[in-house]
Amino acid sequence: MSLPGPLPEATDGSGDRCADTHGCRPVTIVEIDRGWHEAARRARLLSWISLGYMATEGLVAIVAAVVAGSVALLGFGLDSAIEGAASVIVIWRFTGTRTLSPTVEKRAQKAVAVTFFLLAPYIAYDAVTALTARDRPQTSWVGIALAITSMIVMPLLGRAKRHLGARLGSATTSGEGTQNLLCAYLAGAVLVGLLGNALWGWWWLDPVVALAIAVLAVWEGTKTWRGDECC
């Protein structure tokens, strides 16, 4: 069984049919078979796993940040809530009758894109605050261990979700996977900042890299809003 509708046709990127093909791209028709339903179940399961990890990551990071006085580590913990929202959206998307709804996919896709736009200014604000305040946190080995763990776990989840997103034709799932990859990049920035500060006093490394990640988040959010992530 395939999704309702004709063969692939041009759209303007918002899901509306174009009057002509100028500036439009074809829609991919995804076959909904047993494999598709299994992929949807796996996407939902991975989102539950991500949600649990984000809750743990956020709690540990916030406690470690308070102890060490690290603004960057605090930001890393708080943005877990925003990233967790993307997991909730994917779980909602692939639960019950919504699983087969193209309309719900479009709404969920936009919602995930919004979480990118929420994440970007938060990271940027945190980075600018750290730079202007010349924040020099104490060494946090708990924070360093957490950052290393996230750099290992998040890419695994992110790549798996992007693969499932391509199989499902779901920009929502692919977008959540990209957020997991951004979480890994942010963890790397936090790790560089914590180690640089601990070993050489390079306190400014973390906020500088975080600013670059904020720009990347805006770019990826724009792609998800357009639906490019599933391709």
Predicted local distance difference test score (pLDDT) of residue 49: 95
The neighbour count for residue 172, using CB atoms within 10 Å, is: 32
Look at residue 14 and tell me if it is in a domain: no
Nearest by Cα to 187 from 19, 75, 92: 75
Predicted local distance difference test score (pLDDT) of residue 151: 94
The neighbour count for residue 58, using CB atoms within 10 Å, is: 19
Look at residue 231 and tell me if it is in a domain: no
Which helix (H) or strand (E) is 26 found in, with range? strand 25-26
Task: Specify the CATH number for the domain of residue 61.
Answer: 1.20.1510
DSSP string across 163-187: HHHHHHT-HHHHHHHHHHHHHHHHH
Predicted local distance difference test score (pLDDT) of residue 158: 94
Predicted local distance difference test score (pLDDT) of residue 44: 93
The 3-state DSSP class for residue 2 equals strand
Look at residue 21 and tell me if it is in a domain: no
Look at residue 94 and tell me if it is in a domain: yes
Look at residue 77 and tell me if it is in a domain: yes
* In contact, 27 and 11? CB cutoff 8 Å: yes
Torsion of CA 101, 104, 105, 110, to 10 degrees: 170
C-alpha 103 chain-centroid distance:
22
Q: For residues 192-226, b (16+ Cβ closer than 10 Å) or e, as one string?
A: bbbbbbbeeeebbbbbebbbebbebbeebbebbbb
Q: What is the distance between the alpha carbons of residues 23 and 55, in angstroms, rounded to a whole number?
A: 41
Predicted local distance difference test score (pLDDT) of residue 120: 83
Query: What residues of the chain score a pLDDT lower than 70?
Result: 1-31, 135-137, 228-231
Look at residue 141 and tell me if it is in a domain: yes
Q: How many domains does the chain have?
A: 1
Q: What is the distance between the alpha carbons of residues 81 and 83, in angstroms, rounded to a whole number?
A: 5
pLDDT tens-digit map of 134-177? 766 677 889 899 999 999 999 999 999 999 999 888 888 998 89
Predicted local distance difference test score (pLDDT) of residue 181: 92
Look at residue 18 and tell me if it is in a domain: no
Q: Domain of 77?
A: 34-225
Predicted local distance difference test score (pLDDT) of residue 228: 64
